[in-house]
Every structure is written in C-alpha cells, then in structure tokens.
Amino acid sequence: MLYLVGLGLSDETDITVKGLEVVKKASRVYLEAYTSILLVDQTILGAYEKEA
C-alpha cells in the first residue's frame, strides 16, 4: 500500500495522528525534502521511525 503523508507547514509536530500511525507502521518511509520547507533538522524526524 502506498500512502502520501504531509508533514504540515513547518515542523514535525504538524503531522496528523493518522499520518503518524501510517508512518510508524510502514516498512519504508521516504522524505521528499526538495520542495518542502521544513524548519526542523531531518535527524529529528528519525524519532518518528517505528521501534524495531
């Protein structure tokens, strides 16, 4: 299944609850950071990875 999840307007706390659930269940997550304006360091986004 392919899901497209937006991170909101500026930082990692703008993700929806459903979006966060999808990210945590996914086997692979890709971050498109070319056209996005994120005000958060990409290493912080690693905290959203599912726990192994």
Instruction: Give a yes or no: residue 2 inside a domain.
Output: no
Taking the whole predicted model, whether its pTM rises above 0.75 is answered as no
Largest CA distance in the chain: 30
- Model confidence pLDDT, tens digit, residues 4-47: 888 777 777 788 899 889 988 888 888 777 776 777 777 777 77
Instruction: State how far Cα 22 lies from the chain centre.
Output: 9
Instruction: Give a yes or no: residue 20 inside a domain.
Output: yes
Instruction: Give a yes or no: residue 5 inside a domain.
Output: no
Cα(39)–Cα(28) distance, integer angstroms:
23
pLDDT for 52 equals: 41
Instruction: Give a yes or no: residue 42 inside a domain.
Output: yes
Instruction: Give a yes or no: residue 6 inside a domain.
Output: no
What DSSP state is assigned to residue 45?
H
State which residues form the domain around 27.
12-48
Instruction: Give a yes or no: residue 1 inside a domain.
Output: no
Structural domains of the chain, count: 1
Instruction: Give a yes or no: residue 3 inside a domain.
Output: no
